[in-house]
Amino acid sequence: MRNASVLACAVVLWAAAPPAHGFPPLPPAEWRVIDDFSYPDTRAAQDAWRQTGAAGPVSVEQVSSGRAVLLPCLFSEKDGDRSAWDYRLSIDMRSSRGIRFHFYCDNPSPVAGFSLSLRSGNGWYTASFGPERKGRWTAVTIDRASTGIEGRPSGWGKIDTLRISAWRGGSGNAVCAIGNLGVADEAGTVAVVRAESVANAGMSDARSVCDYSGIVFRLSVRAGVPAVMASDLDLTAEYLRRMQVAILPYNPRIPDDVRGNLVSFVRAGGKVLSFYHPPQGELGDLLGIRAGDYLKEPERGFFSSIRPTADAVAGMPAVSEQASWNIIRAVPADDRCRVAAQWYDKNGRPTGEPAVLVSPHGVHMTHVLLPDDPQNKRNLLLSLVAAALPDVWRKAFFALRGTSVEEQTLKTLDEAALRKPQVRIFVEDAARAKRMADECAGERRFEEAVAHSSVAREASLLAYCCAQEPVEPEFRGIWCHSAFGPAGMSWDEAVSQLARNGFTAVFPNMLWAGTAYYESKVLPVAPEVGTLGDQLSQCLDACRKHKVQCHVWKVFWNTGGRASASFIEQMRREGRTQVSFSGRPADAWLCPSHPANQQMEIDALVEVVARYPVEGIHLDYIRYPGSDACYCQGCRKRFEEMLGFQVKNWPDDTRKDPFVRQSWLEFRRQNITKVVAELSRRVRQARPGVKVSAAVFPNWPVHRDTVGQDWKAWCDAGYLDFVCPMDYTAFGGLFEAQVESQKEWAGNVPVYPGIGLTVWPDRGDIVKLIDFIGVTRRLGTGGFMVFDYDASASRRYVPLCGLGVTKPR
């Protein structure tokens, strides 16, 4: 906060300023504001916020009672893949939950996404954010625990720059604004220790470190655990003295000083909850845990759930689903330590492999915590923390009493929705469970109170789902990434579930470049077909039986680690695989300009429609992997033929010479478009009425250059019957702006926007899914797509959709 005299002076100045850009009033901050933007003049604001790329200089405006910094994105006038502003600040964030601010964007259409980065030493902490609703201020929280790592940051005590970036998604300008820049303070005694030192050590798993510690942190918060995120770069002995539990969510490396601090912490009465890597050395001895060997799943579904033993900890769910692919074995070293849970397979049989070990000094789980089955995972995590810190039941109960996300969401329903009979049943269930929770809490039986609260939360969510209304007719498609359907289900069970819950079409991923999951004469057949049978005919039979459309999903060019080594070797020998700009072979990808590749990909789909009565074919990866491909000799030859002359400096001129560059981008687009045109013609000839659709990147004006995917041209030329942009953002305001633009680009061709539930940070967020479906309905798309139909979707959001938003009539 700046000093009062400057503030008073600024108020006078802005009182005379012209009215703001029609922004709605800036809401008050519910956090500690560190800069209220009371700059003496525009110059001072521009000194504080330095623009780069396609950004314009900032200005400051009075918006109702607060001030906002305006950030102009000049994508029409300036080059660059983003508009960015660097704001200097010197801040110690070790005791903050993260950054908070209000954000507004008057026109998110030309923006692919927003990110906030914090510089520390030689690296950055970065997270994406975006407007939740168009035309409103969004209160943004950037949790430290949800940031990714770039470069080699030096910890959270040394932040010196904040950077806001708006990434180019098209042309056109936009004005963004931020206000009430502040930090969220935090107090907690359970430290989730993020292994940021792996980035400094040059290890490649910084991404996994962020993912798995993020999962543990989010579930802790949802469970009411007083959790704080601590970087292992900041984990001093003094910091640990304020903590009761240290969680090691995924720590492939523990620096020596941190290891020493953890040992002292345990000796002084602290507890450790570790995942995957068993504590070693003195720490392992203290916990009484002996590390064993690495164990890969012997077959799919071997590790399917975690269930308590007779020696369990209090409050552990009877079954926590978790589809793990491996564990690191760990066993009790002595009788202080016991096995509290073990792994069960997909048929519900015990595997004999310990999942959770408990000792007086801590708890260990033999794999990382995965985000599937989030309700039980939340309770599992709470029970593990409670095994180390029994008082956490009381803390969790009071932290969430009546304020859980589920109960807050239920409060948004109107009277009419609450009167629906099915909704009332769940609302009454929730109220009853809440009363019982309070009763238990009154008798200080907090573990039971939390269990009742959990029931109340679930009933609230079910009430909310039941209150939703379906709209008909509507195209409701779901991608299924596995050719075998969701794990643990036959195709008949899977498609029957979709039909019961109002989904109208399934998009099973049946063929890749070099692999078919059915009896093909064009592509090599996957070995599993020999044992499990022709997946396409099984899926199609189920679709006909349950009256669900079948649109066969094909991955183009990308062999996806599925094609045999001999197939790839043959392709490479024939000069049919991709080569990067620097000349590096990219054997996993077939060259899109090679005529034999084009022919093979087209023939594969013609064979599908000729032999199987499918409703549609669906093109995916119908593009280049990025701007780095393809620079093989064949591409050079074919490009120069198109140009009519030889490229003087190959391949540099494709980037540096303006004419050659434009021609190169056009050459790439044409290679892809030619395939779409030809296969569209041929499959329609082979099976009249078959629908041709494509999964495409969301921002056509940008992606036609970066990946050669000119999908507006495909719509204009009538090659597609509908188009499914992969609008996988988790921010509603961006989603809405994207769909609006896409409808314009597609013209008369229907747009069924792809909702990326499985790739959201909080996968399975049914409330957000309902919101996004609402956006597609408001914009009149006539349908939507959901990614992805896997085991957790079949357990969770597909049936929740069926309660209301997609309920069959």
- Residue 587 C-beta: closest distance to Zn ion, Å: 12
- Residue 649 C-beta: closest distance to Zn ion, Å: 18
Pairing of strands 362-365, 271-275: parallel
Cα separation, 61 vs 68, in Å, equals: 5
Q: Does 588 bind Zn ion (CB under 5 A)?
A: no
- Residue 591 C-beta: closest distance to Zn ion, Å: 3
Burial class (CB in 10 A: 0-12, 13-18, 19+), 149: buried
| 61-69, 629-637, 682-690, 729-737 -> range binding Zn ion (CB under 5 A) | 629-637
- Residue 773 C-beta: closest distance to Zn ion, Å: 40
| 266-274, 321-329, 471-479, 628-636 -> range binding Zn ion (CB under 5 A) | 628-636
- Residue 671 C-beta: closest distance to Zn ion, Å: 9
Helices 658-686 and 595-611: crossing angle, nearest 10°?
20
Residue 348 vs residues 297, 343, 792: alpha-carbon distances, Å: 15, 9, 16
Q: Which helix (H) or strand (E) holds 783?
A: strand 783-787
Q: How many CA atoms lie within 13 A of 675 on its CB side?
A: 33
Q: How many CA atoms lie within 13 A of 150 on its CB side?
A: 9
Which of 38, 30, 34, 48 lies closest to 5, judged by CA? Answer: 38
| 68-76, 286-294, 583-591, 607-615 -> range binding Zn ion (CB under 5 A) | 583-591
DSSP of 603-642, one letter per residue?
HHHHHHHHHS--SEEEEES-S-SSTT----HHHHHHHHHH
> Of 145, 225, 258, 632, which lies in the binding site for Zn ion, with binding defined by CB under 5 A?
632
Which of 366, 575, 560, 496 lies closest to 802, judged by CA? Answer: 496
The CA R_g of the chain, rounded to the nearest whole Å, is: 28
Q: Does 590 bind Zn ion (CB under 5 A)?
A: no
- Residue 576 C-beta: closest distance to Zn ion, Å: 8
- Residue 675 C-beta: closest distance to Zn ion, Å: 14
Residue with smaller CB distance to Zn ion, 392 or 635: 635
Residue with smaller CB distance to Zn ion, 459 or 676: 676
- Residue 800 C-beta: closest distance to Zn ion, Å: 45
| 187-195, 538-546, 624-632, 695-703 -> range binding Zn ion (CB under 5 A) | 624-632
The 454-493 site mask, x for binding Zn ion (CB under 5 A), equals ----------------------------------------
Helices 392-400 and 446-466: crossing angle, nearest 10°?
30
Q: Does 183 bind Zn ion (CB under 5 A)?
A: no
> Of 223, 370, 630, 679, which lies in the binding site for Zn ion, with binding defined by CB under 5 A?
630
Number of residues that bind Zn ion (CB under 5 A): 4
Residue with smaller CB distance to Zn ion, 10 or 591: 591
Q: What is the DSSP letter of 368?
A: P
| Measured CA angle at 589 (ends 620, 623), to 5 deg | 35
Beta bridge partners of 326: 296
Contact status, residue 801 vs residue 769, Cβ threshold 8 Å: yes
- Residue 803 C-beta: closest distance to Zn ion, Å: 49
Q: Does 74 bind Zn ion (CB under 5 A)?
A: no
Which of 329, 380, 326, 376 lies closest to 352, judged by CA? Answer: 329
- Residue 634 C-beta: closest distance to Zn ion, Å: 5
Residue with smaller CB distance to Zn ion, 368 or 591: 591
Residue with smaller CB distance to Zn ion, 591 or 609: 591
- Residue 633 C-beta: closest distance to Zn ion, Å: 8
Residue with smaller CB distance to Zn ion, 127 or 591: 591
| 129-137, 635-643, 663-671, 732-740 -> range binding Zn ion (CB under 5 A) | 635-643
Outline where 580-716 has alpha helix (H).
595-611, 633-643, 653-656, 658-686, 700-706, 711-716
Q: Does 672 bind Zn ion (CB under 5 A)?
A: no
Residue with smaller CB distance to Zn ion, 635 or 755: 635
- Residue 594 C-beta: closest distance to Zn ion, Å: 6
Q: Does 571 bind Zn ion (CB under 5 A)?
A: no
| Measured CA angle at 462 (ends 457, 463), to 5 deg | 95
| 339-347, 440-448, 590-598, 768-776 -> range binding Zn ion (CB under 5 A) | 590-598
Q: Does 635 bind Zn ion (CB under 5 A)?
A: yes
| 116-124, 266-274, 304-312, 623-631 -> range binding Zn ion (CB under 5 A) | 623-631
Beta bridge partners of 755: 727, 786
Beta bridge partners of 477: 505, 785
Residue with smaller CB distance to Zn ion, 55 or 563: 563
Which of 600, 582, 581 lies closest to 590, judged by CA? Answer: 600
Residue with smaller CB distance to Zn ion, 384 or 630: 630
Residue with smaller CB distance to Zn ion, 356 or 629: 629
> Of 591, 679, 695, 791, which lies in the binding site for Zn ion, with binding defined by CB under 5 A?
591
Helices 374-388 and 206-223: crossing angle, nearest 10°?
80
For residues 497, 501, 506, 509, the Cα torsion angle rounded to the nearest 10 degrees is -50
Site residues (vs Zn ion, CB under 5 A)? 591, 630, 632, 635
